[in-house]
Amino acid sequence: MGKYDKFTDDNLLAQKGHLSTAIGEDESALKALESDIEKLETAIKAMNQHTETLEESRGEITDIEIDEGQWKGKEKDKYEEEKAAYTDEVKTVIDKTTQIRESLESTLSEHEIRAETIEGRIANLERVLVGVEGEINNRKNGG
Protein backbone atom coordinates (compact mmCIF):
# COMPACT_ATOMS: atom_id res chain seq x y z
CA MET A 1 0.00 0.00 0.00
CA GLY A 2 2.94 2.28 0.43
CA LYS A 3 3.43 2.79 -3.26
CA TYR A 4 2.03 5.80 -5.03
CA ASP A 5 -1.28 5.25 -6.80
CA LYS A 6 -2.51 8.39 -8.55
CA PHE A 7 -5.91 6.84 -9.27
CA THR A 8 -6.52 6.09 -5.58
CA ASP A 9 -5.16 9.47 -4.49
CA ASP A 10 -7.43 11.26 -6.97
CA ASN A 11 -10.39 9.20 -5.78
CA LEU A 12 -9.65 10.07 -2.16
CA LEU A 13 -9.40 13.77 -2.99
CA ALA A 14 -12.66 13.58 -4.93
CA GLN A 15 -14.32 11.78 -2.01
CA LYS A 16 -13.09 14.48 0.35
CA GLY A 17 -14.57 17.16 -1.91
CA HIS A 18 -17.91 15.37 -2.22
CA LEU A 19 -18.11 14.77 1.52
CA SER A 20 -17.28 18.41 2.28
CA THR A 21 -19.95 19.56 -0.17
CA ALA A 22 -22.55 17.19 1.27
CA ILE A 23 -21.77 18.34 4.81
CA GLY A 24 -22.08 21.99 3.76
CA GLU A 25 -25.42 21.35 2.04
CA ASP A 26 -26.76 19.48 5.06
CA GLU A 27 -25.58 22.22 7.41
CA SER A 28 -27.41 24.80 5.28
CA ALA A 29 -30.56 22.67 5.25
CA LEU A 30 -30.30 22.21 9.02
CA LYS A 31 -29.89 25.94 9.57
CA ALA A 32 -33.01 26.63 7.48
CA LEU A 33 -34.96 23.99 9.40
CA GLU A 34 -33.84 25.42 12.72
CA SER A 35 -35.04 28.84 11.60
CA ASP A 36 -38.41 27.36 10.61
CA ILE A 37 -38.62 25.50 13.94
CA GLU A 38 -38.03 28.75 15.82
CA LYS A 39 -40.76 30.50 13.79
CA LEU A 40 -43.19 27.62 14.38
CA GLU A 41 -42.52 27.66 18.12
CA THR A 42 -43.18 31.41 18.19
CA ALA A 43 -46.40 30.99 16.20
CA ILE A 44 -47.62 28.18 18.46
CA LYS A 45 -46.95 30.28 21.55
CA ALA A 46 -48.88 33.18 20.00
CA MET A 47 -51.78 30.89 19.08
CA ASN A 48 -51.92 29.59 22.66
CA GLN A 49 -52.00 33.13 24.03
CA HIS A 50 -54.67 34.12 21.50
CA THR A 51 -56.80 31.12 22.46
CA GLU A 52 -56.47 31.93 26.16
CA THR A 53 -57.54 35.53 25.54
CA LEU A 54 -60.55 34.39 23.54
CA GLU A 55 -61.53 31.88 26.22
CA GLU A 56 -61.33 34.63 28.86
CA SER A 57 -63.46 36.97 26.74
CA ARG A 58 -66.02 34.29 26.08
CA GLY A 59 -66.16 33.49 29.80
CA GLU A 60 -66.65 37.14 30.70
CA ILE A 61 -69.52 37.50 28.24
CA THR A 62 -71.10 34.20 29.28
CA ASP A 63 -70.95 35.22 32.94
CA ILE A 64 -72.78 38.53 32.40
CA GLU A 65 -76.15 38.43 34.05
CA ILE A 66 -78.83 41.00 33.30
CA ASP A 67 -81.09 42.63 35.87
CA GLU A 68 -84.38 40.86 35.40
CA GLY A 69 -86.13 43.90 36.87
CA GLN A 70 -84.89 46.22 34.12
CA TRP A 71 -84.56 43.97 31.07
CA LYS A 72 -87.80 42.33 30.10
CA GLY A 73 -89.56 41.00 27.08
CA LYS A 74 -88.12 41.76 23.65
CA GLU A 75 -85.06 43.62 25.01
CA LYS A 76 -84.12 40.65 27.17
CA ASP A 77 -84.73 38.17 24.33
CA LYS A 78 -82.70 40.27 21.88
CA TYR A 79 -79.83 40.54 24.38
CA GLU A 80 -79.86 36.78 25.03
CA GLU A 81 -79.85 36.06 21.27
CA GLU A 82 -76.95 38.43 20.64
CA LYS A 83 -75.04 37.03 23.61
CA ALA A 84 -75.57 33.47 22.34
CA ALA A 85 -74.52 34.45 18.79
CA TYR A 86 -71.38 36.16 20.11
CA THR A 87 -70.36 33.22 22.29
CA ASP A 88 -70.98 30.85 19.35
CA GLU A 89 -68.81 32.99 17.06
CA VAL A 90 -66.04 33.14 19.66
CA LYS A 91 -66.22 29.36 20.08
CA THR A 92 -65.91 28.96 16.30
CA VAL A 93 -62.84 31.20 16.29
CA ILE A 94 -61.36 29.25 19.22
CA ASP A 95 -61.98 25.95 17.42
CA LYS A 96 -60.36 27.21 14.21
CA THR A 97 -57.43 28.65 16.17
CA THR A 98 -56.99 25.30 17.91
CA GLN A 99 -57.02 23.49 14.55
CA ILE A 100 -54.37 25.84 13.19
CA ARG A 101 -52.24 25.40 16.32
CA GLU A 102 -52.50 21.61 16.03
CA SER A 103 -51.45 21.83 12.39
CA LEU A 104 -48.47 23.99 13.37
CA GLU A 105 -47.55 21.51 16.11
CA SER A 106 -47.65 18.67 13.59
CA THR A 107 -45.44 20.60 11.19
CA LEU A 108 -43.08 21.42 14.07
CA SER A 109 -42.80 17.75 14.96
CA GLU A 110 -42.02 16.85 11.34
CA HIS A 111 -39.35 19.58 11.17
CA GLU A 112 -37.76 18.38 14.41
CA ILE A 113 -37.57 14.82 13.10
CA ARG A 114 -36.01 16.02 9.84
CA ALA A 115 -33.51 18.13 11.79
CA GLU A 116 -32.50 15.11 13.87
CA THR A 117 -32.08 13.04 10.71
CA ILE A 118 -29.90 15.70 9.12
CA GLU A 119 -27.82 16.04 12.30
CA GLY A 120 -27.21 12.29 12.25
CA ARG A 121 -26.29 12.38 8.58
CA ILE A 122 -23.83 15.24 9.18
CA ALA A 123 -22.20 13.30 12.02
CA ASN A 124 -21.83 10.23 9.79
CA LEU A 125 -20.41 12.25 6.91
CA GLU A 126 -17.94 13.94 9.24
CA ARG A 127 -16.74 10.53 10.51
CA VAL A 128 -16.23 9.34 6.94
CA LEU A 129 -14.45 12.59 6.09
CA VAL A 130 -12.05 12.13 9.01
CA GLY A 131 -11.26 8.65 7.69
CA VAL A 132 -10.68 9.89 4.15
CA GLU A 133 -8.48 12.75 5.38
CA GLY A 134 -6.51 10.27 7.50
CA GLU A 135 -5.94 8.06 4.47
CA ILE A 136 -4.86 11.06 2.39
CA ASN A 137 -2.37 12.07 5.10
CA ASN A 138 -1.05 8.53 5.36
CA ARG A 139 -0.45 8.45 1.61
CA LYS A 140 1.26 11.87 1.66
CA ASN A 141 3.55 10.70 4.43
CA GLY A 142 4.41 7.53 2.55
CA GLY A 143 2.40 5.25 4.83
- Burial code (b: 16+ CB inside 10 Å, e: under 16) for 86-105 equals eeeebeeebeeeeeebeebe
pLDDT of residue 140: 85
CA distances from 15 to 25, 68, 107, 121, 136 (A): 15, 85, 35, 16, 10
Tens digits of residue pLDDT in 112-136: 999 999 999 999 999 999 999 999 9
Tens digits of residue pLDDT in 21-30: 999 999 999 9
Spelled out in words, what is the top-level CATH class assigned to the domain 6-140?
A: mainly alpha
pLDDT of residue 1: 44
- Average confidence (pLDDT) over 64-68: 78
- State the Cα–Cα distance between residues 8 and 97, nearest whole angstrom: 60
Residue boundaries of the structural domains of the chain: 6-140
pLDDT bin (cut points 50, 70, 90) of residue 58 is confident
Which residues, 6+ apart, have CB-to-CB distance to 54 below 8 Å? 90, 93, 94, 97
pLDDT of residue 36: 98
pLDDT above 80 for 142 = no
pLDDT bin (cut points 50, 70, 90) of residue 40 is very high
pLDDT bin (cut points 50, 70, 90) of residue 74 is confident
Tens digits of residue pLDDT in 81-118: 988 999 999 999 999 999 999 999 999 999 999 999 99
pLDDT above 90 for 53 = yes
- State the Cα–Cα distance between residues 17 and 62, nearest whole angstrom: 67
CA distances from 103 to 88, 111, 126 (A): 23, 12, 35
